[in-house]
Structure 1
């Protein structure tokens, strides 16, 4: 089981996804760099948690793509 993210982390993450829909990927390091360019987050721990949550959401979206063929 993983750690539970606070409402502040979730709110910030979903706000960033709505504002910049195509900027984030399933790579933690790239998400961390993009966060540094787009926002000013003064604390390293908060930036890392947001980047990790962005990565988790991007991986979920990648796995949740619909199938082209119907399953019988």
Structure 2
């Protein structure tokens, strides 16, 4: 498994903190939200951030 660059994790965590109820386990929905909520123009970076957020949303949350 590849290690995500720090900016992907940082941006993903920031978006999840700022908009906790907006993101879910659906990658396509998260990808659209990342496009709307950020000014990231690179498709690859957008997809990495959306993938990171999706993975975090699908993993079991600590109680």
TM-score, length-normalised on structure 1? 0.79
Give unpaired runs (5+ residues) of structure 1.
67-72
Task: State the match for 2:31 in structure 1.
Answer: 32
Question: 1:8–1:65: structure 2 CA closer, same or farther, 3 Å change rule?
Answer: closer
Taking the TM superposition and a 5 Å limit, the aligned residue runs for 1:53-72 are 53-60=52-59, 63-64=60-61
Computed over aligned residues only, the root mean square deviation of the Cα atoms, in angstroms, reads: 1.3
TM-score, length-normalised on structure 2? 0.90
Q: Which structure 1 residue ranges, 4+ long, deviate > 2 Å from structure 2? A: 63-66
Structure ID, larger Rg: 1
Number of residue pairs matched by the alignment: 63
